[in-house]
Amino acid sequence: MKRIGVLTGGGDAAGMNPALRAVVRTAYQHKVEVIGIQKGWRGLAEDTHELLTPSSVSGIMARGGTILRTFRYPEFATPEGTAPVARTLKKLKLDGMVVIGGDGSFRGAQKLEKEFKLPVIGIPATIDNDIPGTDISIGFDTALNIAIDAVDKVRDTATSHGRIFVIEVMGRNYGLLAAQVAIATGAEEVLLPEVPFNLDNLAHRITQGYDRGKQHAIIIVAEGAAKASYVTFEIKERLQRGVRMVVLGHIQRGGSPSGYDRILASRLGHHCTELLLQGKHDVMVGLVANKIKTSSLEKNTRISAKAVLRDARLMEALV
């Protein structure tokens, strides 16, 4: 291979930059040129790209977001959105491509493989951690720690006022981020998309907690389970106590990557580039039981609820 492309797709995740840095530096050690596609799949359609060299990725280890930028580009699923991508690919003459992103990006990667016969390899990066072929995706650890820090702060004010707080955590339709935030902050309750809930029972348990002398109640709500505004309204209706809500939102996606995410991104970025240059493709790299493993891109678009249910049981055992 003489020339590969790299892009970051979907929602940004802290650690995308260290992954990109590892891809570029590994490729250059093999004297392979790297073209950075800006703005994800949309950039491939609009032909916005730059030559990346080892020095163009210097100083990005600690930077949040992605220096390549990213865009949602649902048009890539349509013939109108695909035609300009075909034009760009013809022009760029890439021998392979690294796609850094989540399940949506991997669907795009499969399309490149199938429709354009371009060898592609994926690096899992999403705060949702909803990719089956890896125990953990890049960005999850940073988002978890940001959310933990925020909930710890909210708890201080909740205790001072004796209030109930409903805190909404991201994760799209998957509850793992919320479940782990709840465990790590010792929250009183968690609502997850994978586990049916009953707000009457929840309100009853909160009353019992206050009766036992608790000074606050923290309810973590996964965005895929319910809106924080709905839960707040329903709890207020049932209990005569102060209830406030916090939606953590995109604060969970920003900030400097944690040490864990920097190392994970460097390992996956390096390994996946080595594999691509050796001719391996149509797979993503992941960390499984602390070893780097590959799995087919196709298998990485639907996750089971197993890990969330495991953490939901732990949460229940510890409240």
Residues that bind ligand F6P (CB under 6 A): 11, 72, 102, 126-128, 170-172, 223, 253
C-beta of 65 vs 96, nearer to ligand F6P: 65
CB of 177 to ligand F6P, least distance (A): 7
CB of 223 to ligand F6P, least distance (A): 6
C-beta of 242 vs 254, nearer to ligand F6P: 254
Is 95 one of the catalytic residues? Answer: no
Alpha helices, DSSP H only, in 61-139?
A: 79-92, 103-116
C-beta of 188 vs 223, nearer to ligand F6P: 223
CB of 73 to ligand F6P, least distance (A): 11
Q: Is 66 left (phi over 0), alpha (psi -120 to 50) or beta?
A: beta
> Which residues of the chain form beta strands (DSSP E)?
3-8, 33-37, 49-52, 96-101, 120-124, 164-169, 189-191, 217-222, 243-247, 283-288, 291-296
Q: What are phi and psi of 124, to 5 degrees?
A: -75, 120
CB of 11 to ligand F6P, least distance (A): 3
Q: Tell me which residue of 278, 295, 300 sits closest to 32, measured CA to CA.
A: 278
C-beta of 170 vs 312, nearer to ligand F6P: 170
C-beta of 163 vs 172, nearer to ligand F6P: 172
Catalytic residue among 12, 95, 103, 128: 128
CB of 109 to ligand F6P, least distance (A): 16
Helix axes 176-185, 306-318, angle to 10 degrees: 20
Cα separation values, 228 from 31, 34, 144, 191, 220, Å: 51, 44, 18, 10, 9
Q: Mapping DSSP to helix (H, G, I), strand (E, B) and coil, where does residue 227 land?
A: coil
**How many Å from the N-terminal Cα to the C-terminal Cα in the chain?**
55
Estimate to the nearest angstrom the gap between the alpha carbon of 141 and the chain centroid.
9
Residues acting as catalytic residues: 128
